[in-house]
Amino acid sequence: MSLIVQKYGGTSVGNTERINSVAKRILETQRAGHQVVAVVSAMAGVTNRLIEMANEVSPDNEPTDREMDVLLATGEQTTIALTSMAINAMGGKAISLTGAQAGIVTDGDHTKARISNITPDEVHRLLDENHIVILAGFQGRSPDGRITTLGRGGSDLTAIAMAAAIDADLCQILTDVDGVYTCDPRVVPKARKIDEISYDEMLEMASSGSKVMQSRSVEFAKKFGVKFEVRSSLNENPGTIVTEEHPNMESVVVRGVSIEREQAKVTIENVSDEPGVAAKIFHAISDSGVVIDMIVQNVSKTNQTDISFTLHRSDLKKAKQTIDPILKDLGNESSIETTDGIGKLSVVGIGMRSHSGVAAQMFAALANNGINIQMISTSEIKTAVIIKEEDLEQSANIVHSAFNL
């Protein structure tokens, strides 16, 4: 007998028919001889609808984060009750628990709380009595008893953290795709499911656009060594195992390709080449809440230089409005130029640490097809380029083939 944590995302429990199939699957897992804790998300679209309603009742000021969490936690609370009812109607024995009831304690940072500890006594007690535990994802309670939520996509974190707390034998993230792919199959038809991927690769893929799971939960899994599987709730296909890296993994140089659309670029030209200028720019940007990605500063020949950075297109206006008033402090002749219609293409793989020539091979493949590279950035396990957005899909296919993925 093993102890299994399963997590079903919003699409998997998107309507009552799907809840019934999920209930059946959970029950079958238990009947196969296992103890099961099933973490469920809010039904697809519900969290977004709740946020919309919050804005409708407080159009002129932001609702308090405390009330936001009381509201958002109801999404998952609906699903745990319905899932338990469905299992019980099938003759199983299920009990629902909210995050707080399951002993999940977080800090008090509403809407993005961090789990501080889990006391899973109640979970163990119910499992020992042969119950299936249906646990609300995405929520916990602060030390003083307030309802908290863990940030969008936080049900993944609930599953990983609970798996760590009860020392589960297996943690399965059941979703609407078969696993993690070498690239988005809608973009690259030849993309295939990856059997095994390291935490770091998964994190890099997510940060460059291939979002299968909340990044925070992958970080948590890495920190606590929770091995997990991402697989489909709609079929029985084996999924992708996400785990610690091991030497065999390095034989594959590139694990996957990811793309990020709707990027934009800000270039500030002719800024003074002296200490404090970059700090000024990026302080202002960070104070405005805009998240930036790549930063490139040119070599300076005349005591002036150019600084470019990329960001999501939706933040472009705000970034420009932030820089405009400080432009004159950056240099006598400085000016700002913005470009949208660009995107990011990345290749990721821990094998890059021990293999050279990955960047060269990627750039050559793009060059042979007449694709111009506007910016480049690298990390130990990633090479990323900024290109025209209209070239992204073709480029993803080119690079995917170049590395024989």
Q: Does residue 10 interact with Mg ion by CB under 5 A? A: yes
Of 6, 12, 35, 41, the one binding ligand ASP by CB under 6 A: 41
179 binds, among ligand ASP, Mg ion, none (CB under 5 to 8 A by kind): none
Q: Considering only 151-159, 202-210, 315-323, 383-391, which stretch makes contact with ligand ASP by CB under 6 A?
A: 151-159
**340 Cα distance to chain centroid:** 24
Cβ neighbours, 10 Å, residue 257: 32
Which lies closer to ligand ASP via its Cβ, residue 35 or residue 175?
175
- Compute φ and ψ for 151, nearest 5 degrees: 95, 150
Alpha-carbon separation of residue 38 from 16, 299, 308, 379 (angstroms): 17, 55, 46, 37
* Residue list 373-402, contact with ligand ASP (CB under 6 A): none
Shortest Å distance, C-beta 232 to Mg ion: 15
From residue 194 to residue 213, the character string flagging contacts with Mg ion as x (rule: CB under 5 A) and all else as - is --------------------
Using DSSP's 3-state secondary structure scheme, residue 80 falls into: helix
* Residue list 31-60, contact with Mg ion (CB under 5 A): 41
Which lies closer to ligand ASP via its Cβ, residue 234 or residue 365?
234
- Compute φ and ψ for 397, nearest 5 degrees: -65, -40
From residue 7 to residue 36, the character string flagging contacts with ligand ASP as x (rule: CB under 6 A) and all else as - is ---x--------------------------
Locate tokens 């028919």: which residue? 17
Of 5, 9, 277, 345, the one binding Mg ion by CB under 5 A: 9
Burial (0-12, 13-18, 19+ Cβ within 10 Å), 22: buried
Residue 277 is classified by DSSP as H
Shortest Å distance, C-beta 9 to ligand ASP: 6
Residues 6+ apart with CB under 8 A from 322: 284, 285, 287, 288, 290
Q: How many residues bind Mg ion (CB under 5 A)?
A: 3
What is the signed CA dihedral for 320, 325, 326, 329, rounded to 10 degrees?
Answer: 140
What token pair was written down for 191? 């993309």
Locate tokens 């400085």: which residue? 334
Report d(CA 377, CA 360) in Å as an integer: 13
Query: Which residues on neighbouring strands pair with residue 297, listed in sequence order?
Result: 307
Which lies closer to ligand ASP via its Cβ, residue 114 or residue 124?
114
Q: Does residue 75 interact with Mg ion by CB under 5 A? A: no
Of 154, 209, 239, 331, the one binding ligand ASP by CB under 6 A: 154
Q: How many residues bind ligand ASP (CB under 6 A)?
A: 12
Q: Considering only 154-162, 215-223, 235-243, 371-379, which stretch makes contact with ligand ASP by CB under 6 A?
A: 154-162
What token pair was written down for 390? 């209209």
Of 103, 120, 140, 153, the one binding ligand ASP by CB under 6 A: 153
CB of 307 closer than 8 Å to CB of 295: yes
Which lies closer to ligand ASP via its Cβ, residue 242 or residue 399?
242
Q: Does residue 322 interact with ligand ASP by CB under 6 A? A: no
Q: Does residue 92 interact with ligand ASP by CB under 6 A? A: no
- Bridge-based pairing state of the strands 35-40 and 132-136: parallel
Q: Does residue 138 interact with ligand ASP by CB under 6 A? A: yes
Tell me, letter by letter, the H, E, C secondary structure of 194-207: CCEEEHHHHHHHHH
Residues in the site for ligand ASP, rule: CB under 6 A? Answer: 10, 41-42, 47, 75, 137-138, 152-156
Residues in the site for Mg ion, rule: CB under 5 A? Answer: 9-10, 41
